[in-house]
Amino acid sequence: KRDLSYLKELDGAGDRLRIFPADLNSPESFPPAIEDCIGVFHVAHPTDIIDKEYEETVLGRVITAAKTILTACAKSGTVKRVVYTSTLYAVTARETYGQDLMEESDWSDVEFVRRSDDFSVPYVAVKTLTEKFVWELGRELGLDLVSVCPTVTTGPFITPYLPSSVKASLSLIYG
């Protein structure tokens, strides 16, 4: 079991926070957390970039998680909107980036990205393929879906460890 004391110690957590067990391998673990909610924020999945095998290893896991969560939202009967947190890398990694205006049908070109030797290839591929899947399934399930594509997530954090995005931001300042 993970230590969640940092969540329980947040201001107001005693009155407003309920923690539910969730297991991506047990789809039945999600509906209790979503029950009676009108909005769901799908905010994160693993982003540690190790090597090219990351794409194969992580893609199946995050697709399963997204499918489980979106299906539970659709079945809830109460969820009115789902906000999915993606990344600018899901839409900007393509040969034509910067040459035209971007809109909802623009995506990163996964094949273009895979031809690169950049360390971020697996991350970009996973985020792009996952967001495409989320939109397809969201439409299929009739969900009102919004996607947010931040450039970088930084600032105060509540986890007991330093998130990689905050560490990267601090390295710009401190070297």
Q: Where are the domains of the chain?
A: 5-174
Structure tokens at 44: 């994160």
pLDDT one-digit tens code per residue, 32-80: 999 999 999 998 765 555 555 667 777 888 888 899 999 999 999 999 9
CA–CA distance, 156 with 170 (Å, rounded to integer): 12
Domain range 5-174, its CATH number among 3.40.50.720, 1.10.10.10, 3.40.50.2020, 3.40.50.10540? 3.40.50.720
pLDDT one-digit tens code per residue, 68-117: 999 999 999 999 999 999 888 888 888 777 777 777 888 888 888 888 87
Catalytic residue annotation: 127
Decide if 82 contacts 143 (C-beta within 8 A). Answer: yes
